[in-house]
A and B are shown apart, each in its own frame.
Chain A
Amino acid sequence: MKKEENNSRPKLDTIILKTATNYLLPLLIMFSLFVLIRGHYLSGGGFVGGLIASIAFVLHSFAYNTKRTISLFRFRPLFLIPMGLSLSLFSGLLPLLISKPFMTSIWFLNKVDVIGAFGSALLFDLGVYLVVIGVVLTIIFTISENV
């Protein structure tokens, strides 16, 4: 292996993959959000949704490189973790405002189109979603940059 390749993966320089990724990335993220939202009624949820979104970014990093993928974010994926955790915690604390125990779900009475009923559980799931993306991307990107 040559010296300069020691610090980055050898390029998969396929134009097909690159072009496909450009379209697949938004699609996969939309799909992951879809999986996240429908989780309460059908198969899916924050964890799987987060994994799918991470796979989308990992695919992108394979097609281009890690640096370029990170530049898609405004901040390091690491920061998604505290964001997600605090969102989950916030959704758990919400019921305290209407003097119900910690982590009780509260729901809006009116159903929203497409999503269905909207409640704090969805917010919680969104937190999980963010944590999972943050964790997976942090681990994979760190390893790919440093190993």
Chain B
Amino acid sequence: MRGGKAARSALLRWGVLAVAIGAWQTATRTHDSVYFPPPSEIARHTHNLWFSGPPTHAFLTPEATVNILPSLARMTTGFALAAAAGIALGTALGRSHRAYALCNPVLQFARAIPPPALVPVFVVIFDFGTQMQLASIVLSAIWPVLINTAEGARNTDLLRIDVAAVLRLTTAERLWLLFLPSALPRIFAGLRLSLSLSLILMVFSELLPGTANGIGFTLTDAQSRSDLLTVWAALVLLGALGYVLNTGLLAVEKRLLGKGRPA
């Protein structure tokens, strides 16, 4: 019974998506607008542009290795740095009420700054290039993790802290067994926000004039040549990338939180 229901719901979802893409296809074919190419052409262009390389290069074309891989490297490095620093600083802040009160207003202000406004600052300091892009990603994505971790660690059950004191757990044990597990749901809420911020800042920092490579560079470059097919292909790629990254993080979250979840 349940299986039948799930199958019907999947059919409905994918069916509607297929119909929508079909409608887009026919509409663009009949109207023939330069700005809205048919999805079949976008798909073919995406394939030719990036995924028609030799098997030895995992089917990636030189175009893909030059533009997609550096973007991914910058994004994952930036996100990893922001996550590590955010969790470490957040735990440190969350364990002391004084430290939290001391830093809270500054943190709230830092978080309130719309991240793109900071990018020109880094352009002045680091000039264009990977350093500037990494700084933009890290200093935009760190706040949600930091603040959420601090709030999570702050709300550790007082009873558990007392038990830890009775058991004479060391600081490391307390961190690992007590503070981190109880902060984990909040940490993941922060990580999700940070991940999408990393993607946004990765693209944004590459859209600026003066960048040499990346998916964002592909976008502006295609825009300046009015190459609408490449613009659409880059958008599809970024959407797929965002979907894959988010799904991956959700899977990790499910695994980690499913086990040993604090009551």
A and B interact? no
Q: Which residues of B contact A (CB under 8 A)?
A: none
Q: Which residues of A contact B (CB under 8 A)?
A: none
